[in-house]
Amino acid sequence: MQKEKLRQLLTDIREGKVKVENALEKIQNLPFEDLGFANLDHHRSLRKGHPEIVFCENKTPEQVGEIFKRLSEYNNVLGTRASTEMYEQVLERLPGAVYHPVGRTITYENEKIVLPADESKHILVITAGTTDIPVAEEAIETARFMGNHVRSLFDVGVAGIHRLFNNKHHIDNANVIIVVAGMDGALPSVVGGLVDKPVIAVPTSVGYGASFNGIGPLLTMLNACAPGVCVMNIDNGFGAGYFASMVNK
Amino acid sequence: MQKEKLRQLLTDIREGKVKVENALEKIQNLPFEDLGFANLDHHRSLRKGHPEIVFCENKTPEQVGEIFKRLSEYNNVLGTRASTEMYEQVLERLPGAVYHPVGRTITYENEKIVLPADESKHILVITAGTTDIPVAEEAIETARFMGNHVRSLFDVGVAGIHRLFNNKHHIDNANVIIVVAGMDGALPSVVGGLVDKPVIAVPTSVGYGASFNGIGPLLTMLNACAPGVCVMNIDNGFGAGYFASMVNK
Amino acid sequence: MQKEKLRQLLTDIREGKVKVENALEKIQNLPFEDLGFANLDHHRSLRKGHPEIVFCENKTPEQVGEIFKRLSEYNNVLGTRASTEMYEQVLERLPGAVYHPVGRTITYENEKIVLPADESKHILVITAGTTDIPVAEEAIETARFMGNHVRSLFDVGVAGIHRLFNNKHHIDNANVIIVVAGMDGALPSVVGGLVDKPVIAVPTSVGYGASFNGIGPLLTMLNACAPGVCVMNIDNGFGAGYFASMVNK
Amino acid sequence: MQKEKLRQLLTDIREGKVKVENALEKIQNLPFEDLGFANLDHHRSLRKGHPEIVFCENKTPEQVGEIFKRLSEYNNVLGTRASTEMYEQVLERLPGAVYHPVGRTITYENEKIVLPADESKHILVITAGTTDIPVAEEAIETARFMGNHVRSLFDVGVAGIHRLFNNKHHIDNANVIIVVAGMDGALPSVVGGLVDKPVIAVPTSVGYGASFNGIGPLLTMLNACAPGVCVMNIDNGFGAGYFASMVNK
Amino acid sequence: MQKEKLRQLLTDIREGKVKVENALEKIQNLPFEDLGFANLDHHRSLRKGHPEIVFCENKTPEQVGEIFKRLSEYNNVLGTRASTEMYEQVLERLPGAVYHPVGRTITYENEKIVLPADESKHILVITAGTTDIPVAEEAIETARFMGNHVRSLFDVGVAGIHRLFNNKHHIDNANVIIVVAGMDGALPSVVGGLVDKPVIAVPTSVGYGASFNGIGPLLTMLNACAPGVCVMNIDNGFGAGYFASMVNK
Amino acid sequence: MQKEKLRQLLTDIREGKVKVENALEKIQNLPFEDLGFANLDHHRSLRKGHPEIVFCENKTPEQVGEIFKRLSEYNNVLGTRASTEMYEQVLERLPGAVYHPVGRTITYENEKIVLPADESKHILVITAGTTDIPVAEEAIETARFMGNHVRSLFDVGVAGIHRLFNNKHHIDNANVIIVVAGMDGALPSVVGGLVDKPVIAVPTSVGYGASFNGIGPLLTMLNACAPGVCVMNIDNGFGAGYFASMVNK
Amino acid sequence: MQKEKLRQLLTDIREGKVKVENALEKIQNLPFEDLGFANLDHHRSLRKGHPEIVFCENKTPEQVGEIFKRLSEYNNVLGTRASTEMYEQVLERLPGAVYHPVGRTITYENEKIVLPADESKHILVITAGTTDIPVAEEAIETARFMGNHVRSLFDVGVAGIHRLFNNKHHIDNANVIIVVAGMDGALPSVVGGLVDKPVIAVPTSVGYGASFNGIGPLLTMLNACAPGVCVMNIDNGFGAGYFASMVNK
Amino acid sequence: MQKEKLRQLLTDIREGKVKVENALEKIQNLPFEDLGFANLDHHRSLRKGHPEIVFCENKTPEQVGEIFKRLSEYNNVLGTRASTEMYEQVLERLPGAVYHPVGRTITYENEKIVLPADESKHILVITAGTTDIPVAEEAIETARFMGNHVRSLFDVGVAGIHRLFNNKHHIDNANVIIVVAGMDGALPSVVGGLVDKPVIAVPTSVGYGASFNGIGPLLTMLNACAPGVCVMNIDNGFGAGYFASMVNK
C-alpha cells in the first residue's frame, strides 16, 4: 500500500494538485514515514515473504497472548521458547492455537498450511542422543510450519555408529539434513562425510564437564572436516528449521 | 567396480565355484577391503559426486605436486591455501594448472568446467571490507570450480550502510549469498534481514584488539538476530563456497 | 569548610598563636584528616558536581532505606538495581520517592529537577529488541535524573533494518545516542555509520547460546567498524545514561 | 542372527531360489537394515562385549524405569547420574535393583557379577579431598560392575602430602590408579611421579574462584609433568571406571 | 545532486514528459542507484561531515598511495597504522603529506586545518606508562586532524599516583579526557573518580603474562567503578581521538 | 611419638632383640606406616605449627559438627564458609563455639587466643566497596584466630580516591595490608603504589557484566603495575588472612 | 645403595659403633640426603623401571648433547622435540644415536631394545589427517623405544569414514589404540564406539579458525560420547606413546 | 625539600612577609606543584624507600641507557627484561654496570649493596624444571639487589618428588620461599603443604598444549589447596623477588 500512496502522489503532481517542491519533500520522507505499528513487522512478512515468528522467551504470558492476537489477523504465527502459561494466554484469544510441549512452540494457522504433494523433497532431522530431542523438535516444527515435509531420526550418535548406518537410506533420501548434537558434537562431521547434501549442524547445551554449555560441540562443528556442513547457534533449533526451509525451496 | 566384484562372487556361488561359508566371509569383509590407494579418495568422488579437493597448508610443495598429479588423472582438482611454491610444483607436472593468487587456490581442469546456461541462478559473495577479499576469493573460486555462476560485491560493510543499499538489486537477484566479514561481523545480520535467501556467514581473522583473530565476528554471526543465517569456521572461504554450491543446486 | 579551617590556622600563625613547626605538621596532615562520614560521599557531590547515586544490588532493603534517608538531606538521590522491597523501605522514610519498575530505579528529588527549556538538545535511547528495554530504561531514568531531555526508540534491530530507517529523522535530531542491544549487538555499528553524533553502545546479557551472557554483543561493539562508537559494560544502562549526560552538557 | 540371515540368502542363491541380481540388492542393503529396537543398543553389548549402561541425567524417572526394564531382560544394567526418584521407578519394575546414593548409580544384576579370585590385580581410586568422593564412588561402582576388584584411598591431597606417603604401599600394589581431584588438581602429577602404573586423572567441578567449575584442575592434569597420566572429562567418574576396567583386563 | 535529479524527474512528470508508472519505478530505485565510485566514500564525507580516514594496515603501500591520491582531491586525508613504506608511496603522489612515526599516521591537508581560537576547550590525552605512548599519539593526531586542541600527560600511572596528582590542574582544565593504559588498566577508574568530564578509556596490548594482549586492562576498564568512563577497543587510539572530537564539539 | 617408636626400635637392635634385616624392613616402612586417623590432620598441626582449619562448604552440618568435636580436643578450630545450620551442630557439641555471620566463620578456642601486647604490628584489611565486606571479614577472622591484631578500612575504592587518602595514616601504620576488591579491582595497584608494605590482593566475585564472577578484578590484580602486590584466589578471604598472618610473624 | 648404607648403619648400631641418638638423627635424614646428581634422575629409572627421557625443547643443543652423554652411560635414552642441531651435538658424543625427523625424536640404545616375540599384542596409532602424522610419529617412536610392537594407520578421518571401516580389522586386532586428530577431533569418538579397547586420544594444534591451536579437538575428545576414551595434552604424542606402553604391558 | 619550602612559607607568614590569602592559595597547590622531572620517580625512592627499577622491555637501547644514567646519580638501579643491546648502551654511560644474561637484568650500584651479616634469614627460590630458571634468576637478582641473601634449588618438580624431599632441609631453613613452575604448576601446592613459611608462586609460560602460555599453571596456583601460597603474574620473577624482599624484612 506504500506503492499505492506513492502512485497517488505522482498522479497528484501530474494533475497539478501538488507542487513539485512539496512532493519532493514528501517523497524523500516516504520510505521513512512512520507506519504506526511497523515494529510489529507486518511489513516484514511483505518484505520477506514468510509467516510471523515470535521469540517468546523473556516476554510475559500476556504480552505473548497480545502479540499472537494482533499478528494472527493476517498471518500464520509461530511462537518459539514458549511456556504452557504463554500458551494459555494465546489459547484464550485464539482457540485454534496448538502447543508442542517437547519443542516448546505454539502455532496458529490463520490459513491452513498445505504441504507440497511431493514428499520426496523433505528435510531430515537427526539427533545424536535423546537429550537433543527438544532442540530437534523445535527445528521440526519450524520447518513444518514453513511448509516442508520433515522426517526424523533420533539417538544415532557416533558412540554406536552402526545405528547411523542402519539408517543410511534415510540420509540418502533427504534433501537437506539438520544434525543436532551435544557433548562431542561429532555427528555432523560423520554425516557430512557420508552424503552430498547440505548439513546444518546445531550444537546443544546438554552435557556436562568440558562441554561448557555447548561450546564443546559448537567448536567441533565449526571445525568439521567434512565440507558441506554449516553451523547454527547453540540450541537454535528454530534457526536450523528456518534455514533448512529456505534451502529446501 | 565394487559392484562388479560382488556380482561375480554371487555368480560364482550360483555356479558352485565358491562355497557358501567362504563367500559368507568374503562378503562380510567386502566393504572393508583395502582399495590400495583409497586414502587418496578416488572413492570419495564416487561417493560424494564431486571433484577432488586438496587442503594444501602444512604439506610440502612436492607433496602437493604429487597429489595433484595422481588425482588429476580422473578428476578436476582444486587446491586451497596454496603457496606459489606449491603451484610451481603442480605446474611442472600439470601445465594446464592455474593459480589464483588472492584466494590462494590452484585449479586443474581434467575436464572443462561448463557453467549452466542460465546465469540468473547464481551465488553472490559480499565482503564488509577490502581486507576480507582473500577469504571471499577462496569462496568464489571454490563455487566456480564446482560449476556455479558467482558474482561479487566488495567493501559494503555496515559502517557505510548506503553502499549496501546502493546494491540492493544485486542482493535481491542472487540465489544464495555468502557474506564475509571481520571486526564487528555485523553485515550478515543486516543482509539476512533484507532478503529471503540463505545467507552463509564467514567470519575473518582480520582485525585487531577485541576481534581476537575472528572470535568477535564469529560470535556476532552465531548470534545473528535475522533468521536464515548459518555460519562457517573463521576464514573458511572454501567451506562457504562448497556449501553454497550444494544449496544452489 | 576545610578551607575555613586552613584559613584559621594561617591566621593563628600570623597572630603568633601557633608555632611554625606545629603548623607544619598540621598542614601536612590536613588533606588526610578524617572527615567523619566521608565514605558516604557528601564530599563527592562537591567534588563531582552531581546528585548522589546508590548502587542498590547486594544491599539489604534496610540499608538502602537508611542510605537514601541520609543522602536525601542535601541532595537528590538515584538508586539503581533496586527491588520493590528496597523501594518500600525508602518510601517509609521518604514519602516523595518514586519507583520505576522497568528500569528498576528509585528517584528522590530533594530539589525539583528542572529540564532545560530547549528540548532539541536531547539524548536518544535506542534498543534492538524488546528484551533490551529494561537496560534502556535504566539509562533513560539516569539521564533524566541528571537533567536531560531523553527520547526513545525501541525494537529497531538490524534483523528488520527498515524499522531503523523509518525513524532516521529521530536519529538525526538527537545530540547523543545510546544504543542498547543483545544477541549479535550489530545495531551500534549501523547507527554509528548513519550519524555524526557520539554513539554509546551498551551490550545486554539477554540472549542464548553463543551470546554468552553478553560477551557476544560486547565484542561486536568493541569491534564496531564505524568510528564514533564507545562501549559500556554489559547491562550497564546507568553508566550509559551518566556518560551521555556528561556529553550532552 | 544377521549372519544367519546372510547364510540363508547365500544358500538360497546356491540352490537357485533367488536370482543373482535380487540377491545383489539385498546384500547391499543388509548391513543397513532396520533392526527394530536397535537404538536401545542390545546390538551394542554384542559388539562391545559389555553390560548395558544408562546415562540417566535429563531423562524422566519413568523413562529410566522403562529403559532398565527392557535392557535387564538379557543384560546387567548400570545407571549413572541417577536420582532416588529414578531408582524408585526402577525398583518398582526390578525388585533386585540397588541404589548407591553417594555415587548416584543404580545397578541391576541379571546375572550375578563374579569378581576374579585373584584380588591382587585391582584398581585403586584416590581422592584429593572429601568433596571429590561422589565422583570417586561413581568410578568405583562402575569398575566393580564391570568385574574388577577396587580399593580406595580418600582425602590424601597434596596440601598434606605425608597422607599420601603413609599409604604408598597401597599405591604400589595397584594395577591401575584413578586419581580424582578438584581445586589445584595437583595430585595426579605427584602420583604419576611415584609409580609406574597407568594413572587416570579425573578433574572435579568442586571448588570456587579460579577453579572455574573444573577448568582449573582439568588444565593442571592435561599439563601433568609426570608421564603416564591420561585425563577424563570433568566429574566423569563413570568414564574413569570404565577406562580403568579396560586397562585392568 | 541526487536531489537535483529527483527535482528534474518531478518536473518532468508535471510537464507530462514522463509517465507516472515509469516515474514510479525510477523513484523506487533512486536511493539504490549506483554512484560509481561510492565505495571510496566521497559520499561518506557528505553524509558524515568529516574528512576521509584510511585504515592502512593490510593494504599494500601502492594501494595506500593510490587511495590517498584520489581522496585528497576534495578532502583532507588521515591514514592510520601506516608504515614508512606506505608513506613513501603517498609522498610520491602528494608532496605535502606528513608522517608521524610514533603514532604511525599519515596526514594530508588539502585545505589547511585551522584550530579554534579558544584553546581552553581542549582534549587531554593521558598515558599510564611510556609504552602506551604510540596508542596515545594515534589519538592525539586524530583529534588534531579533526580540528581540536590537544594536550598530553604521559607516564602518570597508578603505581606512583602522586605523579597524577601533581598534574591535577591539567585534568581539571580539560574538556574531554582520553586515558590510555595497559597492564592493570586502573588509571581510567582513578581519573574518572577525580573529574566530572567524559573519560574515554583505551586499553593497550602492551604487557605480559595475564594481561593477555590487552584483555586484562579491557576488563578493568569495562568494570570501572567510577561513572563517566566509556571504553574503546584494544589499542584503538584512532577511535578514541575520533570519539573525543565528537564530544568536544 | 613416631620418634619414640623409632628410638625403641634402635634400642632393640642395640640390645639384640631385633635382627638387622627385620629392622631394615621396618624402618623403610616407618614413614609410610598408617597413623590411623592421620587424614584428620592432627599430624598437620604438629608439622605446620598452626591450629586446625575446616573448609565447611559441601559438607553436611552433621559432618562439620563431628569434625569440630574431634579436632577441638587438642586444638583451636576455625571453620570457613559455614552456614548457621552447621554452627548449630557445632554449638550442640561445643557450647563455647562462636559464629561470625558476615564472614561466615565458626571459631572454637580450646585454648584462649592471646594477641601480642604490641598492637602496632598489625594487619590492615581494606575493601573497595561495601559488597566486598564478607570476604574481608573472612580474612579478618582468620588473621585474628591466628593471633594477629587486625584493623579494617571499608569502602575506600578508587572511584572516590580521596576516601583512601583521608586514611593514609592507617595504611602507613600497618605491617601487612590485605586489599579486597571486585569490579575493576584497581585498588591494590593504588595502595601498592602508596606504601612499602606487602599488599595481598583478593578479587571478589561481586559485580556484573564483564566482571565475569571475579575474572575481571583477578586479571587487574595479577597485572598490578605497582610492585609488592601478590594475589589470592577469587573470594579467598581465608587464604589472605592466613598468608598475612605468616608474613606478620 | 641407599639400602646398603642403611644396612651398614644398623649393623654399626648393633655392634655398638654408633650411638642410638646419633643413628636416630641419621636415619631421619637418610631419605632426604643429597645424592649429588639426583636431579638427573638416575634415581628415577630405579624407581620407575624405565629408560631415560629428555624433553629437548627450550634447551640448547649443547645441553642436550651433554645430558644424553651422561644419561647414556647406564640407560637407553629418548629425546623428544629435538632439532637437527641438537641431534648433531648428541651424535658427536654418541655415534650410535639415531634421529627420527618426522616425530623429531633422538634415540640412543645403550642396550639393544628387543621387542617381544609375540607381535599380536601391539599398539595401533591412527591419525585423522596427514598433518597429524608428526604427533603420531612421536607416539610411535616412544612406544617402540619402550619395547612395544606398534602399527599405524594414517589419514582415516571421519570426513571419509569408509577409510576407517576399510581398515576395521586392523582396529580389531590392536591391544591399545592411540588416535591423533586435529580440527573437529571426532575420530576418537567413532573409534571408541567401534572397539572394546582402551583408546588414547591426542588432540593436535594443526588446523585454523575455531580449532584455536587444539582447544577445539581437545574439548571434543574430553566430551567423547563413547566410553573407553581418555585424553592427552595437545600435541603430546610422547605422553600417548608412554601411556599406551604402560597399558600394553 | 618540599618540607623546606613549606617551612619557609610558614615563617614568611609569621614574619608578615606573605598575606594569609596568598599563602592559602600556595599551600593548596603545594602538593600538586610540578617537580619538573618527577615522572622519573626520584620522588618514588623517597616515598617508597627503595632503589630505582626500570622495566626495559619495549624501550629502545638508547632510552634505557639515558634512564640508567639519570637515575644512577642518586640511586642504585635495576633493569629487568633487558637485552644485551640495552646493556651496551648502559655500559657506555656507566662502566660499573653488570649484566646477568640468564635472568636478563642489568644492575648498577651507586652505593655498594651490603647484605646482612646473618645469612640464616634468607629467601629460597625453587624451580620445577630447568626451563623455569630464567624467571627464577630474575627473582634472585631482584631480591639480592634489594639486600637479601638468596639461595636456590632448581629442577625439583613433582614428577620426581623425591628430588624435593632430598632437599627438605633447605626448604625448612628458608624464611620466604619463591616457587617457579610451568606446565602443571603443581609444585607450590606441595611446598606449601610441607612448610609454614610464606610461599610466593610464579607461573611460567614455558610449556605447550593446554598450558596456554601460563594460564594452566596460573590457575593451578590460584587454586592451591595448601594455605600460605600467594600468586604473581605469569613469568613475573621480578615481582616475586620484590615481594619476597618486603616479606623477608
pLDDT digits (tens, 9 = 90+) for A114-142: 899 988 899 999 999 888 999 999 999 99
In total, the C-beta contacts within 8 angstroms joining chain D to chain F are 49
Is the pLDDT assigned to residue E191 strictly greater than 80? yes
Contact check, Cβ <8 Å, G242/D228 = yes
Q: What is the mean pLDDT of residues G81-95?
A: 97
Residue F155 with chain C: CB contacts under 8 Å? 39
Mean pLDDT, chain A, integer: 84
DSSP letter at B57 equals T
Selected residue with higher pLDDT from H10 and E86: E86
| Cβ pair F243, H230 in contact under 8 A | yes
Residue to substitute from D8, D10, D26, interface B, most B β-carbons within 10 A: D10
Residues 6+ apart with CB under 8 A from B1: none
Residue from D189, D199, D208 to probe the interface with H (highest H Cβ count within 10 Å): D189
The terminus-to-terminus CA distance of chain D in angstroms comes to 28
pLDDT level of residue D12 (50, 70, 90 thresholds): confident
Mean residue pLDDT of chain G comes to 84
Q: What is the mean pLDDT of residues D123-140?
A: 94
Q: How far apart are CA F147 and CA F119, in angstroms?
A: 11
Per-position DSSP letters for F7-56, written without gaps between them: HHHHHHHHTTSS-HHHHHHHHHHGGGS--SSGGG-HHHHHHH-S-EEEE-
Position H5 pLDDT exceeds 70:
no
Q: Say yes or no: C147 contacts chain E, CB-CB below 8 A.
A: no
- pLDDT greater than 70 at residue B57: yes
Query: Cα angle at D240 between D234 and D242, to 5 degrees?
Result: 135
Predicted confidence at residue G50, as pLDDT, reads 56
pLDDT digits (tens, 9 = 90+) for H47-82: 344 578 888 988 889 989 988 988 887 789 999 999
pLDDT at H10: 75
Is the minimum CB–CB distance between E7 and chain A shorter than 8 Å?
A: yes
Query: How far is H246 from chain C, CA to nearest CA, in Å?
Result: 26
Residue among C193, C245, C231, C235 at smallest CA distance from C211:
C235
Map grid coordinates 526513545 to a residue: C152
User: Tens of pLDDT along D221-230?
Assistant: 999 988 899 9
The arithmetic mean of pLDDT across residues D4-29, rounded, is 71
Chains touching E, CB cut-off 8 Å, 3+ pairs: A, B, C, F, H
Is pLDDT larger for residue A49 or for residue G196?
G196
Q: Is the CB of residue D232 less than 8 Å away from at least one CB of chain G?
A: yes
CA distance E233 to chain H (A): 21
Secondary structure of residue B156 in the 3-state scheme: coil
> How far is C141 from C80, CA to CA, in rounded Å?
10
Cβ atoms within 10 Å, residue B244 = 31
Does H154 contact chain G (CB < 8 Å)?
Answer: yes
Is residue E230 within 8 Å of E200, Cβ to Cβ?
A: yes
pLDDT of residue E24: 64
Q: Which range, of E138-152, G44-58, H10-24, H126-140, averages the lowest pLDDT?
A: G44-58
CB contact under 8 A, H209 and G35: no
Answer yes or no: do G34 and H167 touch at CB < 8 A: yes
Residue D122: pLDDT above 60? yes
* For testing contact with chain H, the best of D130, D158, D222 (most H CBs within 10 A): D158
**DSSP β-ladder status, B150-153 and G52-55:** unpaired
Cα–Cα dist A231/A244, whole Å: 12
Q: Which residues of chain H are within 8 Å of residue F200 when distances are taken between CB atoms?
A: 230
CB contact under 8 A, E208 and H59: no
Residue of chain E whose alpha carbon sits nearest to that of F206: E223
Cα separation of H224 and H190, whole Å?
Answer: 9
Q: How far is H149 from chain D (nearest CA, A)?
A: 28
Distance (Å, rounded) from C-alpha C4 to C-alpha B31?
98
Q: Which of E192, E219, E226 lies at the smallest CB-CB distance from F210? A: E219
At how many degrees (to 10) do helices H133-145 and H237-248 cross? 40
Beta bridge partners of D54: D79
Angle between helices A133-145 and A237-248 (to 10 degrees): 40
CB B201 within 8 A of CB B229: yes
Tell me how crowded residue E111 is: count the other CB atoms within 10 A of its CB.
Answer: 9
- For residues F70-82, give the mean pLDDT: 88
Measure CA E191 to chain center.
22
Q: How many CB pairs under 8 A join F and G?
A: 35
Grid cell locating A26 = 514528501
Closest by alpha carbon to G170, among G115, G131, G118, G123? Answer: G123
What's the average model confidence in pLDDT over D135-162?
92
| Residues E91-146: tens digit of each pLDDT | 999 999 999 999 999 999 988 898 998 888 999 999 998 889 999 999 999 999 99
Of D155, D208, D210, the CB nearest to F39: D155
Q: Is G76 exposed, middle or buried (0-12, 13-18, 19+ CB in 10 A)?
A: buried
Give φ, ψ of D161 to 5 degrees. -70, -15
| Contacting residues for E142 by C-beta, under 8 A, at least 6 apart | E78, E80, E105, E237, E238, E240, E241, E242, E245
Whether the CB of G147 is below 8 Å from some CB of chain D: the reply is no
Name residue D125's beta-bridge partners.
Answer: D152, D178
The number of CA neighbours under 13 Å toward the Cβ of B12 is 16
What is residue H27's predicted lDDT score, i.e. its pLDDT? 60
Report the neighbours of A using a cutoff of 3 or more CB pairs below 8 angstroms.
B, C, D, E, G
On the CB side of G134, how many CA atoms lie within 13 Å of its CA?
A: 16
d(CA A241, CA F163): 58
Interface of A with D in 66-95 (CB under 8 A): none
Question: How far is residue F172's CA from residue F165's CA, in Å, rounded to a whole number?
Answer: 11
DSSP string, B22-51: HHHHHHHHGGG---SSGGG-HHHHHHH-S-
The pLDDT score that the predictor gives to residue B45 is 38
Q: Where is average pLDDT lowest: E98-107, F44-53, G100-109?
A: F44-53
Interchain contact, F206 vs C33, CB within 8 Å: no
Q: What percentage of chain B carries pLDDT values higher than 90? A: 53
Contacts of F31 in chain G (CB under 8 A): 31
Contacts 24+ apart (CB under 8 A), D40-45: D40/D67, D40/D70, D40/D71, D41/A160, D41/A163, D42/D71, D42/D74, D42/D75, D43/A160, D43/A162, D43/A163, D44/A160, D45/D74, D45/D75
Contact A231 B231 (CB under 8 A): yes
Query: Do the Cβ atoms of G228 and D247 come within 8 Å?
Result: no
Query: Residue H7: is its pLDDT beyond 80?
Result: no
Q: Which of B2-11, C125-134, C161-170, C202-211 is modeled with the greatest confidence? A: C125-134
Q: Are A226 and B44 in contact (CB under 8 A)?
A: no
Q: How far is D213 from chain H (nearest CA, A)?
A: 12
Within a 10 A sphere around the Cβ of G155, how many other Cβ atoms? 18
Contact predicate E177/E123, CB 8 Å: yes
Residues of E in contact with H29 (CB under 8 A): 169
Q: How far apart are CA E58 and CA E81, in angstroms?
A: 9
Three-state SS sequence of chain H: CHHHHHHHHHHHHHCCCCCHHHHHHHHHHHHHCCCCCHHHCHHHHHHHCCCEEEECCCCCHHHHHHHHHHHCCCCCEEEECCCHHHHHHHHHHCCCCEEECCCCEEEECCCCCCCCCCCCCCEEEEECCHHHHHHHHHHHHHHHHCCCCEEEECCCCHHHCHHHHCCHHHHHHCCEEEEEECCCCCHHHHHHHHCCCCEEEEECCCCCHHHHHHHHHHHHHHCCCCCCEEECCCCCHHHHHHHHHHHHC
Distance between CA B20 and CA D7 in Å, rounded? 7
Distance to chain E for F165, nearest Cα, Å: 11
**Would you call G219 and A207 a contact, using CB atoms and an 8 Å cutoff?**
no
- If one counts every other C-beta atom within 10 angstroms of the C-beta of residue E40, the result is 15
Percent of chain H with pLDDT over 90: 53
Which position has the grid cell 500512496?
A5
Cβ separation F196–H50 shorter than 8 A = yes
Of E3, E6, E13, Cβ closest to residue A13: E13
Instruction: Name, in order, each residue with C-beta under 8 angstroms of C69's C-beta and a sequence gap of 6 or more.
Output: C90, C93, C94
Respond yes or no on whether ipTM tops 0.90: no
Question: Which residues, at least 6 apart from H158, have a Cβ–Cβ distance to it below 8 Å?
Answer: D158, D186, D189, D190, D193, D225, D226, H128, H164, H184, H186, H187, H190
**Structure confidence at residue D22 (pLDDT):** 74
Tens digits of residue pLDDT in C213-226: 899 999 999 999 88
Measured CA to CA, the distance from residue A162 to residue D40 in angstroms comes to: 12
Q: Give the distance from residue B30's alpha carbon to the nearest chain D alpha carbon, in angstroms.
A: 10
CA distance linking residue E154 with residue E172, whole number of Å: 16
Nearest CB to B13; choose among D3, D14, D28: D14
pLDDT band at B20 (very low <50, low <70, confident <90, very high): confident
pTM of the model: 0.83
**pLDDT tens, D176-212?**
999 999 999 999 999 998 888 999 999 999 877 888 8
Decide if pLDDT at A43 tops 50: no
pLDDT at residue E149 in the model: 97
Using the beta-carbon criterion (under 8 Å), do A210 and G224 form an inter-chain contact?
no
Whether pLDDT at E234 is above 60:
yes
